[in-house]
Each structure stands twice: as C-alpha cells, then as structure tokens.
Structure 1
Amino acid sequence: MRTVDGRVAGRRGQATRQKLLDCLSEMLSSSPYRDVKVIDVARKAGTSPATFYQYFPDVEGAVLELADQMTAEGAVLAELVKGRSWAGKAGWQSAQELVDGFLEFWRQNDAILRVIDLGAAEGDKRFNKIRTKILTAVNGSLAESISELQAKGRIDKDVNPAAIAGALVAMLAAVASHQKGFTAWGVKQAELKPNLALLVHLGVTGKKPTR
C-alpha cells in the first residue's frame, strides 16, 4: 500500500489510512456526499488534512477506494446464484435467498452505493465502471442458470438468457436502493421480499414457484 507520492505505507500508516476511510464511510451515511470536506474527515479521524492528503488526492479519491473495497464484497451476490437449483421447492428457496442477499447488501452499503449511483448518473465513468462490476458477476451467474434451464427444455427456446438476467438484476438493484420508499407506499419489508422473490422465480423459470 503506497501513499500519494509513491512511498510504501508502514503498519501505522496503513492503520491511519483505514481510519480515514472508516470515518468517511460513517460521514457519508449521515451527510450528503458534496458536503463532506477533507478537513471534516481528518478531524473526525483525529488527524490533519495534511495527513489525509498523504493517502488520498481528495474526498472523491477516498470514496473511490471505499467503492473498490465494497466491490470485492459484492462477489457474494454471484455466489447466491452459482450452482443453485431452480427446480421445485429448491427454486423458490434460490429466489428468496437471492432477494435477501440483494436487499441486505444494499442496506449494509447504502451510503457508498448512493454516491456510486450519483456519480454514474452524472456520467463519471469511474463510478459507472464500479457499479457495472458489482452487478456483472451476479448477472453472468443468473444468465448461466437460465441457459441451463433452456438447454434442458424447461423454458422457451426463444428466451434470451442474458436479457432476462439483466432485467432481473436491474430490477433487484433498483428495488434494493429504494427500500425506504416502499415503506412510504405502505409496503412492509416482510411483504416486499416474497413478492420480489416471486417475480425473480417467474423471470428465471417462467413458472409459479412450488412452496
């Protein structure tokens, strides 16, 4: 791990760097991204702006580092699909666990995901690349599962696995990022999950689930 000027950071420096990232993450959960300043992050971490600039060029650079760390954690989403059965009751369980995984991942990383969505919406290719990377693995695993069902003759041969998988992943991401909004619409979390899982199961198998 190196500093901005290329020096190798020692154990103490790495700890300071991680503390700055942890403080930034905490601040993003309670303050708008544009309002977070270097001096505020440094003060919260008990250090100086000069120390912050040793490790990051600016707040945006630190946010991108947080995003990269979160992307690695996002690999767990693909594991929710890979090698799973979509037949019978096992298929219903697969759909439920995929939905649970998406909603939980977004809840745990809500602050940084909001910043990524904002940057991507503004056309920042760096943020768009990170968002795509988070979803690509699970999209690929889901498309593979649909292709396998298609090869076995369980779903229509005219179905495009990549298109179905992409639509389902986009839906899951959109719903996961809007969980609080459903409450305002009178939809409880306990009601959201099974209905979302139903849509996922229908999308993958073309059939109602066996419960």
Structure 2
Amino acid sequence: MRTVDGRVAGRRGQATRQKLLDCLSEMLSSSPYRDVKVIDVARRAGTSPATFYQYFPDVESAVLEIADQMASEGAALAELLEGRSWVGRAGWQTAQELVEGFLEFWRANDAILRVIDLGAAEGDKRFAKIRARILNPVISSLADSVAELQSKGRVDKDVNPAAIAGSLVAMLAAVASHQKGFGVKQADLKPNLALLVFLGVTGRKPTR
C-alpha cells in the first residue's frame, strides 16, 4: 500500500489510512456525500488534513476506495446462486435466500451504495463500473439458471435469459435501496419479493 507520493505505507500508516476510511464511512451515513469535507474527516479520525492528503488526493478518491472494498464483499451475492436448484421447494428456498441476501447487503452498505447509485446516475464511469461489479455476477448466474431451465423445457423458448435476469436483479437492487420507504413490513416484503423472483425465473408458482 502506497501513499499519494508513492512511498510505501508502514503498518502505522496503513492503520491511519483505514481509520480515515472508517470515519468517512460513518459520516456518509449521516451527511450528504458532497457535504463531507477533508477537514471534517481528519478531525473525526483525530488527525490533520495534511495526513489525509498523504493517502487520498480528495474525498471522492477515498469514497471510491470504500466502494471498491464493498464491491469485493458483494461477490457473496452471486454465491447465493451457485449450484442452487430452482425446482420445487428447493427453488422457493433459493428465491427466498437471494432476496434476503440483497436486502441484508443493502442494509449493511446503504450509505456507500447510495453514493454509488448517485455517481452512476450522473454518468461517472468509475461508480458505474463498481455498480456493475456488484450486480453483473448475479445477473450472469441468474441468466444461467434460466437458460438451464429453458434447456430442460421448463421455461418458454421465447424467454431471453439475460433480459429476465437483468430485469430481476434491477428490481431487487431498486427495492433493496428503498426498502425503508415502502411502508411495508419486512415480514410481508420478503416473501412477496421472493415470489416475483421465482415467477420471473421459472414462470411458475412456487411449491412451498
């Protein structure tokens, strides 16, 4: 790990850098992204703006670092589909666990995901790439599941697996990012969202 000027950061420097990132993450939970200033992050971390600039050229660079770390954790979403069945009760379980995984991931990373969505919506390719790193592996796995069901005659041949998968994942991400604003209890949201996912993948009602 190197500083902005190319020096290798020692153990203490790495700890300081991580503390700055942790403090920034906390601030993003309560303050709009563009209202966060270097001096505020440094003060919260118990250090100086000069120290912040040793590790990051600006707040946006630090935000992208946090987003990159979070995107790596997002690989767990695609793992929810690996080797899973979409047939019968096992398929219903797969849909439920995928929904639960999305909702939990967004709850745990709500602040930084809001920044990523904002940046991507404004056309910032850096944020768009991070969003794609999170969602594309899930889309790919889900499309493979639809294609497999299609090859076995369980899904209509006219269905486009990639289009179905992309639409379902976009729906999951949208609902997960707005789950606090639906006015619907989690106990009701989860099974109904899982139902939509299962119907979208299989074209059938689930066996519960």
Q: Give me the TM-score of the superposition, normalised by structure 2.
A: 0.99
Structure 2, unaligned runs of 5 or more: none
CA contact (8 A) 1:78 1:138 kept: yes
The code of the aligned residue for 2:30 comes to S
Q: Does 1:203 align with 2:200?
A: yes
Deviations 1:9-38 (A, max 9, x none): 000000000000000000000111111000
Tell me what 2:131 maps to: 131
Tell me what 1:53 maps to: 53
Tell me what 2:110 maps to: 110
Once the two structures are aligned, what percentage of the paired residues are identical?
Answer: 86
Deviations 1:42-101 (A, max 9, x none): 000000000000000100000000000000000000001121001100000000000000
Tell me what 1:193 maps to: 190
- Separation in structure 2 between the aligned mates of residue 4 and residue 102 of structure 1, nearest angstrom: 35
- Please state whether the residue corresponding to 1:47 is helix, strand or coil: coil
1:133 deviates by: 1.2
- Please state whether the residue corresponding to 2:5 is helix, strand or coil: coil
The code of the aligned residue for 2:11 comes to R
- Alignment root-mean-square deviation, CA: 0.5
Deviations 1:132-168 (A, max 9, x none): 1110111111001111111111111111100000000
Tell me what 2:35 maps to: 35
Q: Aligned ranges for residues 1-211 of structure 1 at < 5 Å?
A: 1-183=1-183, 187-211=184-208
CA contact (8 A) 1:82 1:145 kept: no
1:122 deviates by: 1.0
Structure 1: 4+ residue segments shifted above 4 A: none
The code of the aligned residue for 1:158 comes to D
The code of the aligned residue for 1:172 comes to L
Structure 1, unaligned runs of 5 or more: none
CA contact (8 A) 1:82 1:142 kept: no
- Separation in structure 2 between the aligned mates of residue 154 and residue 122 of structure 1, nearest angstrom: 40
CA contact (8 A) 1:81 1:141 kept: yes
CA contact (8 A) 1:75 1:137 kept: yes
Question: Aligned pairs, how many?
Answer: 208
1:114 deviates by: 0.4
- Separation in structure 2 between the aligned mates of residue 119 and residue 12 of structure 1, nearest angstrom: 32
